[in-house]
């Protein structure tokens, strides 16, 4: 990559970081190209040259977020942490992601874009495969009853995560989250 290409990529990265920051504090319809340009310290023309529209910029950002989601999940599941530590980390990340954007930005944006819906579906399939390995790990460490099949565990974990997603942010304090994780584990453990 030559100097021009490096500067171009750096500028695109600045724009995405600025967009991410703005979407952390504002609803998607409140964020304008002008605001993004100001935050990124670039011209509005640069944003249009790189992304053509606000929607394409946000779509590119969402694709990056989804790619990061699978990479982080894979890293945790394939790590040397215990099963219980892996589940706790995954839940922590889910809670963090709930707090990082104003409103339900990601879900709403994905639902309105067929390409992102397809990408999200592929990522969810990969995550299901990773979680199946995780549940096998939990069974081998005697955290999970071997009587519970992985599809049931995945459905239960999805219900748990989606339940967390539906809670108001102010109910997600650490002590309550720790109790919810404890309840989760008690419901699937042996004995």
Q: What is the pLDDT of residue 112?
A: 76
Quote the longest CA-to-CA distance of the chain.
63
CATH classification of 1-52 is 1.10.10.60, yes or no? Answer: yes
Q: What is the pLDDT of residue 53?
A: 94
Torsion of Cα atoms, 158 then 159 then 161 then 162, to 10°? 110
3-state helix, strand, coil in the chain (%, to 5): 80, 0, 20
Phi first, then psi: what are they for 172, rounded to 5°?
A: -100, 40
Q: What is the pLDDT of residue 170?
A: 66
Q: What is the pLDDT of residue 98?
A: 67
Domain definitions of the chain by residue range: 1-52, 61-188
Place of tokens 């839940």: 91
Q: What is the pLDDT of residue 60?
A: 92
Per-residue pLDDT of the chain (191 residues; tens, 9 = 90+): 788 888 999 999 999 999 999 988 888 889 999 999 999 999 999 999 999 999 899 989 988 988 888 899 899 999 999 888 888 888 788 777 766 765 566 667 777 778 877 877 787 788 888 889 999 998 998 888 888 899 998 898 888 877 776 777 666 676 777 777 778 777 877 65
**Domain 61-188 classification at class level:** mainly alpha
For 114-143, the DSSP string reads HHHHHHHHHHHHHHHHHHHHHHHHHHHTTS
């Amino acid at each position: 990559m030559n100097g021009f290409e490096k500067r171009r990529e750096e500028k695109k990265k600045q724009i995405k970081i600025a967009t991410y920051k703005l979407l952390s504090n504002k609803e998607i319809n409140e964020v304008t190209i002008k605001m993004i340009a100001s935050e990124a310290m670039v011209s509005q023309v640069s944003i249009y040259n790189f992304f053509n529209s606000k929607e394409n910029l946000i779509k590119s950002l969402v694709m990056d977020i989804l790619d990061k989601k699978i990479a982080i999940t894979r890293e945790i599941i394939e790590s040397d942490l215990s099963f219980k530590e892996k589940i706790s980390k995954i839940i922590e990340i889910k809670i963090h992601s709930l707090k990082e954007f104003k409103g339900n930005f990601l879900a709403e944006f994905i639902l309105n874009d067929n390409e992102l819906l397809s990408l999200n579906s592929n990522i969810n399939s990969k995550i299901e495969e990773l979680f199946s390995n995780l549940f096998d790990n939990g069974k081998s460490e005697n955290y999970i009853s071997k009587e519970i099949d992985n599809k049931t565990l995945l459905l239960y974990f999805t219900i748990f995560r989606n339940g967390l997603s539906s809670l108001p942010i102010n109910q997600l304090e650490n002590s309550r989250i720790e109790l919810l994780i404890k309840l989760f584990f008690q419901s699937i453990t042996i004995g």
